Amino acid sequence: MQRLPGDIFQQGNARPHTARMSPDCLHTVTTFPWPARSPDLSPIEHIWDHFGWRVGHPMSLNELEARLQQI
């Protein structure tokens, strides 16, 4: 992993991040403590929530497509 001055690596304890090789690679990296599987701290979860709220419950594929295009 290429290092940058003052870099901090955020590791969320997802299964791919806890594979045996990952911790071995991280021993030289400064890590930031982060709760495991914390959706409230994951920006993408807020985006999916927004999409879900805006899309609602379409009754057909065409309706879903139309709603997604409006977003």
Q: Would you place residue 5 in the very low, low, confident or very high pLDDT band (cuts 50, 70, 90)? A: confident
The pTM is what? 0.40
For 20-56, how does the pLDDT look when each residue is reduced to its tens digit (9 = 90+)? 656 666 677 776 666 666 666 777 778 888 888 889 9
Q: How far apart are CA 49 and CA 61, in angstroms?
A: 20
Average pLDDT estimate for 3-7: 71
Which residue's structure tokens are 């990296």?
29
Do the strands 31-32 and 9-10 form a parallel or antiparallel pair, or are they unpaired?
Answer: parallel
